[in-house]
């Protein structure tokens, strides 16, 4: 089971992402953007990690989305292979038209706008630990395959452009109805509150992660690789004192592994 961890100029989370891939028992390697794209067919799954590909020039993910490896990834995705895009990886998937529906750019991840009590209180880059509620049924999406519906995960975010906006009529309704909304920002009790600080970036309907209709592609703004081990958790979380325990982000990578096993 071999996973390609994609590396574009400016990607900066590939090392911890590969650690996470290997720690759940998958094999993996970095796949640089300028390698022959055809070599992607030798992999069973793909992770596009976070960072600032091409320094976010033009807008986050825009330049990387035009690289030949992304065309090759589309072909691999069409075979049902799993792809997980994390943070900048999610932005690249959206700009490539791989999410939320293959073919068109149906949405944007715009600059964060934090709203509280009807007023804008912050804008732009923000990092914090957030709570996510798993919205999809288990087995619906490759990156949350083993996660039960309504499970809560504490995972960090760090981004300036994660605010889902769309002018596509009916898109959000369709995503909800077809189970493509995988994660929403919520409070520690699982309540989805549309305002900051629970909705950390102003995203439409507090959406933090999406899948494609087939479920093999997941894009999410939070970083599961940064909450893979319990020792990575913030000091106020009691699980940090039990460093041998898995962190909540581990389940995303375990899901990918299980998805590949089931669909092999």
Partner 1 sequence: MSQKINLRVWLKIPDAEAATVKNTLVRRLGFGNVLTDVKKERLFSIEVDSGDPEELAKSFAKELVNENKESHKVLIDQLSFEEGYVPVKVALHIEDGEAISTRERLRNRLGFKNVVDVKKATVWKLYFNTLRPEAEQKSREIAEKLLINPHKDSYEIVS
Residues that bind partner 1 (CB under 8 A): 54-55, 57-59, 62-63, 66-68, 95, 105-108, 110-111, 113, 120, 123-124, 165-168
Q: Given the complex with partner 1, which of 68 and 234 has the nearer CB atom?
A: 68
Whether residue 189 lies in the annotated active site: no
**In whole angstroms, what is the distance from residue 190 CA to residue 224 CA?**
18
- 10-28 CB burial, b ≥16 within 10 A, e <16: ebebbebbbebbeebebeb
Cβ atoms of residues 221 and 182 within 8 Å = no
Residue corresponding to tokens 């640089």: 32
The distance of closest approach from Cβ of residue 133 to partner 1 in the complex, given in angstroms and rounded to an integer, is: 25
Closest CA to 94 of 106, 84, 83, 86: 106
User: Cβ closer to partner 1: 160 or 209?
Assistant: 160
Distance in Å, CB of 57 to partner 1, minimum: 4
Whole-number Å distance between alpha carbons of 92 and 111: 15
CB of 204 to partner 1, least distance (A): 10
Nearer to partner 1, 30 or 33 (CB): 33
Tell me which residue of 233, 223, 219 sits closest to 77, measured CA to CA: 219
Closest separation in Å from C-beta 9 to partner 1? 10
In the chain, which ranges are continuous DSSP H helix? 14-23, 68-78, 88-96, 171-177, 250-263
| Closest distance to partner 1 from the beta carbon of 84 (Å) | 22
Q: Is 225 a catalytic residue?
A: yes
Q: Among the options 14, 76, 134, 223, which is catalytic?
A: 223
Q: Give the position of tokens 């600080």.
A: 197
Per DSSP, 214 falls in state T
Residue with Cβ nearer partner 1 (58 or 150)? 58
> Between residues 58 and 78, which has the closer beta carbon with respect to partner 1?
58
Active site residues: 87, 223, 225
């Amino acid at each position: 089971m071999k996973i390609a961890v994609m590396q574009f100029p400016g990607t900066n989370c590939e090392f911890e992402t590969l650690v996470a891939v290997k720690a759940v028992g998958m094999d993996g390697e970095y796949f640089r953007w300028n390698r022959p794209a055809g070599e992607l067919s030798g992999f069973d799954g793909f992770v596009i990690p976070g960072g600032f590909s091409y320094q976010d020039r033009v807008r986050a993910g825009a330049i990387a989305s035009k690289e030949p490896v992304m065309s090759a990834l589309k072909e691999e995705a069409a075979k049902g292979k799993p792809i997980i895009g994390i943070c900048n990886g999610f932005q690249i998937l959206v700009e490539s038209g791989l999410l939320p529906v293959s073919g068109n750019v149906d949405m944007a991840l715009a600059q964060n706008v934090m709203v509280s009590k009807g007023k804008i209180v912050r804008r732009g880059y923000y990092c914090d630990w957030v709570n996510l509620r798993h919205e999809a049924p288990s087995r619906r999406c490759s990156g949350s395959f083993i996660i039960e519906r309504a499970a809560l995960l504490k995972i960090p975010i760090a981004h300036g452009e994660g605010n889902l906006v769309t002018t596509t009529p009916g898109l959000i309704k369709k995503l909800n109805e077809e189970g493509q909304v995988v994660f929403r920002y919520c409070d520690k009790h699982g309540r989805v509150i549309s305002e900051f600080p629970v909705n950390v970036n102003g995203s439409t309907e507090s959406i933090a992660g999406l899948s494609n209709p087939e479920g093999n592609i997941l894009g999410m703004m939070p970083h599961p690789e940064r909450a893979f081990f319990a020792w990575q958790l913030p000091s106020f979380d009691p699980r940090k004192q039990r460093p041998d325990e898995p962190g909540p982000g581990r389940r995303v990578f375990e899901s990918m592994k299980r998805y590949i096993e089931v669909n092999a």
